[in-house]
Amino acid sequence: MKTLNLMLVIPEKANIFRINHDEPFIINLPENVAIADQERVQEAISHATNIPVPQRDPNENIENDSLLLLGDHRRQITGKVATNVLIAALDNGTPEFHNLLEICRLIALVRSIRFPDACIRTAVVDHSENACTLTSRNGRFQYRPHMGYIVGLRAMSPDVNEFVEVLNEIVFWFW
């Protein structure tokens, strides 16, 4: 989740938040390699979507304020895409949700994109309980299959949970 968050959710905030990485891939990634990788990703997206890669003046200096605004704009776009991928995974998994790990990771990604300052740190599936547990700085979120849907469990009291269907929770986050 840390790698996904750094790549898709908060790359412009990595230096601001002083994100600590224990991922060797990120720690040892030279800037010139990261830039070359990003350019290859841009070209692949452009090739697949027929949308040209935005060009900027090589002398253009992008300040942190601009990066934050661009990050918000990027999250709006990637949030829509990630939500559509999650919807497809839910459709593919209905009604037994044998793809719960995929769904769990996608819910984590969508939540992180929607709430970047409290991005999900872990996404774990407990197959014995058929549950997905996400953790962030703000707490824990649990999701599980229930009557043909994936629902979030919200504690109403120590002994009572409310079920919130995941699509009802996220459907308007990016629109």
- Domain segments of the chain: what residues? 2-170
Paired strand residues for 136: 120, 139
CB atoms within 10 A of CB 94: 13
Per-residue pLDDT of the chain (175 residues; tens, 9 = 90+): 877 776 677 766 655 444 455 555 555 556 666 666 667 767 777 777 777 777 777 776 665 556 667 778 878 888 898 999 999 999 999 999 999 999 999 999 999 999 988 889 999 999 999 999 999 988 999 999 999 999 999 888 888 889 999 999 998 898 8
Which pLDDT does position 98 carry in this prediction? 95
Which pLDDT does position 66 carry in this prediction? 66
Which pLDDT does position 121 carry in this prediction? 92
CA 173 to CA 139: how far, in whole Å?
A: 20
What phi, psi does 65 have (nearest 5°)?
A: -60, -45
Which pLDDT does position 38 carry in this prediction? 63
This prediction's pTM? 0.74
Contact 135, 122 (CB under 8 A): yes
CA 165 to CA 153: how far, in whole Å?
A: 9
E strand intervals along the chain: 120-126, 131-136, 139-146, 149-157, 160-165
Paired strand residues for 145: 150
Q: 80 by DSSP, 3-state: which?
A: helix
Which pLDDT does position 73 carry in this prediction? 80
CA 14 to CA 127: how far, in whole Å?
A: 33
Q: Enter the tokens of residue 158.
A: 């120590």
